[in-house]
Amino acid sequence: MPNPFSRRLSHTASASLLLLLAACADTPAQALTTTPQPAPAVTATAAAATPTPIETPALSFEEWRTLLRSDAIAAGIDPALFDRAFAGVLPNPDVLKADSSQPEFTRPVWEYLDGAVSQTRINRGRVLLVQQRGDLSRIEQRYGVASEILVAIWGLESNFGGNIGTHNVVRSLATLAYEGRRQAFWRSQLLAVLQILQHGDISPERLVGSWAGAMGQTQFMPTTYNEHAVDFDGDGKRDLWNSASDALASAAHYLQSSGWQSGQSWGYEVRLPQGFDYALADPEVRRSVAEWRALGVTPYSQDREQAADDTMATLMLPAGHRGPAFLLQSNFRSILRYNNSTSYALAIGLLSDALRGGDSVQAAWPRDDRQLGRSERIELQERLAAKGFDPGPADGIIGANTRKAIRALQLQLNWPADGYPDENLLQQLRTR
Ligand code: CA
């Protein structure tokens, strides 16, 4: 799922957008504000969820709907269509619960990848690459996005169209716009979905999606849908629910709009030399491939096609210095615009490689590493702040500021400065 906030969001799993974001240490996790994504995958598992209190709305749902109806009509929505879309619609408590839950535990990136890039998914994806070859090649010609990337997105977003969600999207969005968090955001999504209905892409009765309103085989949020969905099969409807061609082309169109560089890769796994300065593994540190090579950063697999020397890239250590390292090109950022989770983007890249018959990750993941829970991440941030570092707000999200603060502490301790929050670091802060 793409990020809703930026344009689309998708979410299949019932975990929440927030979860996903939070699941990835590298991703700034403002899910909703930037990207929401719940994704099937990335969302990881929440063992325990702490509900966030939500204010009781001042208007009854019926009063609220009356005002919304008036605004929708002023925006050009046909009154009869509005009434049809809202027939029998009442707030859905399950959606509110999903919106407010903040899971204590998120899945480690290697466990997420085990599920996202499973052999079953690879096999299915390879069959579909053959079956959809004609459409995929026309889509690649028009938008410049490789077939394997699109099939990987299709696989992660909806299991190749097999899981597009069962929620009534109008009901979900109305619930969130009426009494969820970020009501203005949800209201704009709700108005966008009414425009989609009015456009005739789908009937109100068939408008299903994730609990958060992500729709179709590529799980687009309504505003993203309006901006980027395309009718590729030429039947006059942008039908991301029932037309694989429309869905794949829409994903390609969206990536193209997000700066996709045709003919380039997303990145590749690399080896780092002894004594490497891990502080360079930061999204803000961009170097050319030639500069990385001069620093001793080389492709893990020698037969892998390498990027041109002047290609700019960043280095990522998704599990800290004990795990695999990846050199990322700008297309990785385009995937992040689709869904702002580094775990998700890495899964798309690795799945697309596997669909081409490429290698899986070569270096070992630190599977013995215990992930910090949300309350421990908050404690880590509080303790960093108490020691005079500046990790940003203690929200349990390991974003750029927290990573910098962790690095500063690691440097003080003369530890590898990878900015990765682990149990040893927390223990160290507790005892100092
Ligand atoms: Ca169509």
Ligand 1 center to 300 CA (angstroms): 42
pLDDT band at 138 (very low <50, low <70, confident <90, very high): very high
| Spans of all domains in the chain | 14-105+163-257, 267-355, 374-431
Residue 33, pLDDT > 70, answer: no
Sign of the alpha-carbon torsion through 182, 9, 328, 145: negative
* 230 compared with 359, residue with greater pLDDT: 230
Ligand 1 center to 378 CA (angstroms): 47
For residues 416-426, average pLDDT: 95
Ligand 1 center to 247 CA (angstroms): 9
Give domain 14-105+163-257's CATH superfamily. Bacterial muramidase (1.10.8.350)
Ligand 1 center to 206 CA (angstroms): 15
pLDDT, tens digit, 9 for 90 and up, residues 223-248: 999 999 999 999 999 999 999 999 99
Ligand 1 center to 240 CA (angstroms): 8
In angstroms, the CA 139 to CA 249 distance is 6
Closest C-alpha to 107, from 23, 26, 21, 18: 23
For residues 406-421, average pLDDT: 96
For residues 129-158, average pLDDT: 98
Ligand 1 center to 251 CA (angstroms): 14
Ligand 1 center to 345 CA (angstroms): 27
In angstroms, the CA 52 to CA 255 distance is 34
Residue 37, pLDDT > 60, answer: no
What's the CATH fold of domain 267-355? Lysozyme (1.10.530)
Residue 55, pLDDT > 50, answer: yes
* 26 compared with 50, residue with greater pLDDT: 50
The gap from C-alpha 109 to its chain's centroid, in whole angstroms, comes to 13
Residue 32, pLDDT > 70, answer: no
Ligand 1 center to 421 CA (angstroms): 46
Beta bridge partners of 168: 208
Mean pLDDT (the chain) is 88
Which residue shows structure tokens 């795990």?
A: 323
Which residue shows structure tokens 């109305």?
A: 174
Report the pLDDT value the prediction gives residue 2, as an integer from 0 to 100.
Answer: 54
Closest C-alpha to 323, from 25, 10, 5, 15: 25
Ligand 1 center to 244 CA (angstroms): 9
Ligand 1 center to 233 CA (angstroms): 5
In angstroms, the CA 48 to CA 333 distance is 31
Ligand 1 center to 289 CA (angstroms): 41
For residues 379-396, average pLDDT: 96
CA distances for 351 relative to 27, 122, 149, angstroms? 20, 7, 8
Residue 111, pLDDT > 50, answer: yes
pTM over 0.75: yes
